[in-house]
Structure formats: structure tokens, C-alpha cells
Structure 1
């Protein structure tokens, strides 16, 4: 474990005693019950270190990001702003709109304690421009223990064949086999999960990273698309337009067998007073060597020459990444600590599974949003939705849709 580094030792600037009253304005979109509780942990950690947290919450991720950018352009930037661990803020780096946080990152050995996909997203041209606070894995399988028991499913599926066998048993037992909310980001999440579990690491990276014609027309990619299409009959007719949390409720209330959703779904089970391992189960993929899609959230720090604001930015980073803050925050957020060097034994069994996998570099893969520009990622989601919602579409036709979207 890294030693705790004081702010004075971590940064090579002089901070006056007046900094103890320095206000840090933080813009974010965490407004739901669980999210509000989680952001409060970060605020309290910063204030415990002598700062004053000013909360600027804007409902909706895209709205909050736009508001933060507008504040920068208008000359009155916030101290920090929430973004996803992706390429959402890379154009801002290119336009010199962000301060780097190299001093804290280097003093705390981020190169050694953070997962490589996260490092690749926050470190550009040798400089650190974002502070990651968690790992969200979007491709978890959540299932009703009652539904599995009544359908005669004795163990979690380990292979694609076992998954389809389980879905058939759930259907025969009268359950919705696969609970899916019919929104494009949810459909894209399901596709990414199929791609990682069926295609494997190299195909995943080539399909979303290289996006070349040879990869997208390969037999391996066609098998992924074919598997994706074969899941359609297992989704109920109430799927179109349904919110993710309403979909999770189907599993919570034992009306559906399985939902593929990010680890934020765990918060819904917790609010319903459901116990992991007893009322519901979780597994991050098919088999003990399944891949772990690394996503998450970061804070970026708008450009400023104000020494007190720079000091506030650095102190925010220090407080957010402290081991105790990481555990408490991620317990409430439903995610996994971004640091791989801390004790997670106090976290639930699902979080412990995720944290253990993050120690295995070979199992880590970046979320698709880290591998392509945001406009292209939007095209991918549109393609997934077109494929999923086109009646009687063939695998060959679907491949053409994906190639058109990813190669434009």
C-alpha cells in the first residue's frame, strides 16, 4: 500500500494557511438517492481535509458536461467537473482547457495502482488530466435466486451453451428469461457483453478499436452478431423504452431470471433490502476467465492560473483517492474502487469479485467509449439498436449495419 502523502509533500507549490477556507465548486449529475449519498462522501472527505465543498448538481450527464464546458468557455470555470472514463474530455485536453494533476498522480504512484484501461483514458501525452474515482463494469449478469431454483438451474452459466440452456429453462418455468430495457444504451451494453464473452479480448479490441473491414467480416465477429440476435426471443414484449431500474425490478421481484446491467444495478437490490448470494446472484461473465469491461467516472479540472484554485484541485484529488474514501464511496455507488492496492473485505461479495478480477491485467478491457471518439460511439449505439429492433434481420445484414457504422 502506498504511504499517505500530505498535500504539501505531493505538490510543488506553496499553499497559504488561508487555503483551509478555500471553496471548491464541483459540477456533477449524481442526483438520485444512492448517487447523492455517494457524492456526499467525497464532499465530506474534502472538507475533512480543510476545504469547503460547493455542490453544483445538474440533472443528466450530457446536461452537466455541457454546463461545465460552457462555464469554461464563459471564463468562470468550476473547480472540478464530472465526466465518464472515456474520450469525452480528450478534445478539451487538445484545446488546453484542463489543468493536469501530475503532481498528485506521480506522488501516489498511479501508474502502479490503477488498471491500465483507466490509465489509458486519463493519461494523455504523458500527463494526467482526470482523477478516476471508481470502476463501473457494465456487463454484469444479475439473476433471481428464486427463479433459478424454480427453473432447476443449479449453477451459474459458464459457457454460451449453458447460458442458452438456462434461458430456455427460465422460459419454460414461466419467467421472463432475459430482462432488457429497450433503450439504445442498454441494447449497446448487452451487445458489448456478448462481444466480450463470445469474441474474446483480441476481437473485442480489434472490432471497437481498429474497426477494420477484415475484423468486422470475420467468422468470429459474425458468431458474436449471431449470438446477439439469438437472444432476442428471450426478451419480453414490455422491453421497448423501459428504464433500466424498472427492468432491474423485474429481477428483484422474481418476475425475470437474468438482467445484464452495470454494477450500479446493485443499488436497486440494496434499496429493496435484497442480500447478494441469498436473494440474488451476480457474475461478471461466462467462466472464471471472463473479461472485465473497465468503465467508470472521473473528475476533470478546468484550466486556471489561480494558485488557490490549483491547490483546491490537487486537494480534491488527494481526498477522493484516499483508501477509506474509496471504500465508503464505492460501497454507496455500487462500483469498485479504482485503486487496486486497498482492502475491500468490507465490501459486498459482488464488489469483492470485481476487485479481485481487476488485479489480473489480462482480464481487463476498456469500455467501448474509451476506444473511439464520442460521435463514433454514438453511431455504434445506433447500429446496435437498428440491428436489435429490425424484424427478421439476418446475421449478414446485421454485420453490414455494424460495418457501415464503425467504418464511417
Structure 2
């Protein structure tokens, strides 16, 4: 019944758009993205199906891996053969495109879709350059859930996720004694950066913001040093298979009870659902530790500049489709994220989403690293964190010194 209702919503929404395109005059859009896991593929299909129903021809150009997908898009743009649309998870990714005149603004779509009235000001600010809008927001994501395995916890007589780092490490010691991996870290560079940011948020929202703004005064803050100590300690509670491991593999470790904890975003819910499990029940969810603020970011569609009128029409149609309330609802319920529009009716937030909303109301929120760091800066800082993770002989003082050097080179 739920599936039928969502389908009806999509059809009603697309019916309003069909006047713009007929079955004989499809608007073709080749779309580069990296959503290739089971749940991600299911989620992008929601958008693709809605685009097709509205008169578009979706040409899927999925590339496994965030970096590889962005590189593929950059190569095509520089070669003069731009795709119609590219998914970006960092609004900083569009800076060079805007500066070089290589991206289409969406002022008309934003106006007709009433984005200003129905999207958070922070989201619109993130995609606005010089008064013009250059991206279509797809979702609103929570980055810092602590996912916990009730299977693993039951083996040490624990029924509730830890609320503090002291409780976390106490449980971790028991888990190690029971032969269970306490912490499933994912081993691509961006996951090291996200984990460190999530740890830092538990200590100080101010330190979190200063770090991601590359303010060197952060290194003098005791809360920052404490976060470094926690990050260093986490290495001892992980396993040797971290390097190169993607998030969905770590997620599977939690689902199967091979590991107890993972710090990961709400996209984990999609994989949990795809495994036939219930988020909040079969895999427990809390936000951060020590009353952490909620870390929020999201994905956007960017549309490279194109001289082909049919492609431009397809771009406008896709931007319109993805930001309609019906598609926002269907996508969010499939992906596990929150709708980026505030006027979505019928949204039924699951247990984990409601926990994040309650946490945000009680302890505020901070923007995820893709909102604050340029891709180059993020990559450089994450390399330092990743190298530190694998070098178990390195101390917290070593990491602070390496981060200070990275900040100096980036300024």
C-alpha cells in the first residue's frame, strides 16, 4: 500500500510536468553519479523514474566511487562534452565551475518552484553565488549517527547504545574480550575526515567549525586535543581491514553483528532496509555521543553549461522534478535522508530520523565538512588523518603537528 501511494504521488506530480514534454519529444539527460550500492541504486531510480514520467530520457552514467565520478565529470567538462547533470556532495565542488562559466544557473527553476519559501536558508545560501542559484538540492542528510549492533551488544549483556565516550570505550573493552570488533571504520579518505569531524563535534561545536574553516586557533583549544585523543584511541578498537573499505562494507559488519559500532550518515538506513532489516530496531541509532550537535549536509545536482537547447530543457526539467514535494518524499523515504523542502506533506519520519530531529532541537546543528571545506583542502586534511590511522605508532601530538603543517600549506 505504501508503495502504491508513493507511485500515485509521483504520477500526480509528473502529470503536472508532462505538458512540457511528450513521449515523442523526450528530453535526454545523461547523469553522472556514484550511487551504485543496492540502496543507492534504488534511491536514484526514484528520481530517474519520476524524470521519465515527466517526459525525460534518463541516461544513467554511474561511476563507482565519489572521486572517480567527479573525475569523470571533470574530464568530460574540460573536453567540451559535458554531461547534462552531475551529483556533487560538496557545494564547494561548484566554485570553479561557476568561476569558469561552466555551470548553468537555476534562478528560473528556483523561482517557479518557490525554493526560497520552502527550503532552509542555509541550503539556499550554500548553492548561491553572486545572487544566482547553481544547484538543485536533492536531500538533507544527517552525517553523524552512531549505528549500533544489538546482536553484538547482546553478547556482552548490553541492551542500549552508549551515550558517552566513557561508556563507548567501556563497552569496547568488553567487546574485544568477546572477540567482536568494537568499531567499524571505513577506509576511504573522506570517511577518515568525517569520523574525525564527528568526534570533534562531540567535544565542541566551536572547535568543529574552526577546524573546518581552517582557523589555526583551534589547535590551542583543549576540546580539540581531547578529540584527537579519542580519534587516536579509536584505532585500537577497529580491525586490520579498514584500509580501502567502503562505508557499505562497514555497514554490513554492523548488520551481521561482526562489529558493534559505526559512525556514519543516514544513508546507512538504505542499506539496512535493503538487507531486510529495520533501522532503529535491528540496527540501533543515536546521534553522536556526549550530546553532540547534529552534523547536516546534502547532495545537489549541478548542470554543466550546454549550448544544445534540448539538453538545456532536460536540465531544467530534471531540476524541477527532483525538487517537487512528491519526489522529495519518495526519495527521502527510500534513501533514509530528510526532504530538503519544508512543505513536504505526508512525510513519516522513521525512528532514526525523529531521533536526529529531536537531537537538533535540543543541541543545535553544524554543517557537514562538504559545506565548509574545498575539495582540495578536504583531501589534504583527510590524507593526514588517514595516514595517522594506519600508522599506529603515531601519537596524538604527531597528528596535531601534521594537521598544523597541512593548514599552513593550504592557507
User: What is the aligned length?
Assistant: 396
The one of 243, 249, 262 aligned to 2:265:
262
Report the Cα offset of residue 117 of structure 1.
4.5
- The gaps in structure 1 that reach 5 residues or longer are 1-5
Question: What are the superposed Cα offsets for residues 99-158 of structure 1, whole Å, 9 maximum, x if unpaired?
Answer: 100122233343343345533331112111011111233322111113223323343322
Deviation at 1:25, TM superposition (A): 2.8
> Residues 52 and 250 (structure 1 numbering): CA distance in 2 closer, same or farther, change over 3 Å?
closer
Point out the more displaced range, 162-171 or 83-92. Answer: 162-171
Which structure 2 residues correspond to residues 359-374 of structure 1 after superposition, within 5 A?
360=361, 363-374=364-375
Which secondary structure does the structure 2 equivalent of 1:88 belong to?
helix
Match of 2:353 in 1: 351
RMSD: 3.0
Q: 5+ residue gaps in structure 2? A: 1-12
Q: Is the 8 A contact 2:183 2:262 kept in 1?
A: yes
Instruction: State the TM-score, normalized to the length of structure 2.
Output: 0.86
Match of 1:48 among 44, 53, 64: 53
CA offset at residue 254 of structure 1? 1.5
Between the aligned partners of 2:374 and 2:90, the Cα distance in structure 1 is: 12
Q: Give the conservation status (yes or no) of the 8 Å contact 2:263–2:288.
A: no
Per the TM alignment, residue 379 of structure 1 is displaced from its structure 2 partner at its CA by: 0.9
Residue in 2 that maps onto 1:3: none
Q: Do the aligned partners of residues 188 and 47 (structure 1) sit closer, same or farther apart at CA in structure 2, a change above 3 Å counting?
A: same
- Residue number among 31, 55, 62 corresponding to 1:57 in the alignment: 62
Matched residues in 2 for 1:74 and 1:127: separation?
26
- The aligned residue for residue 208 of structure 2 is 204
Distance 1:254 1:89, change over 3 A: same
Cα 1:36/1:247, change in 2 over 3 Å: closer
Shift of 1:284: 1.9
From 323, 326, 347, the equivalent of 1:324 is 326
2:28 is aligned, of 17, 23, 28, to: 23
Matched, 1:276 2:279: yes
370-379 or 109-118: bigger deviation: 109-118
What is the CA–CA distance in structure 2 between the aligned matches of 1:396 and 1:57, rounded to whole Å? 41
Alignment of 1:286 with 2:282, yes or no, is: no
Residues 345 and 352, structure 1, Cα contact 8 Å, conserved in 2: no
Whether the aligned pair in 1 keeps the contact of 2:194 and 2:369 (CA below 8 Å) is no
Measured after TM superposition, the shift of residue 404 of structure 1 is 1.0
User: Is residue 2:376 matched to residue 1:375?
Assistant: yes
Q: Which moved more, 1:243-252 or 1:200-209?
A: 243-252
- In 2, the alpha carbon distance for the partners of 1:299 and 1:244 equals 22
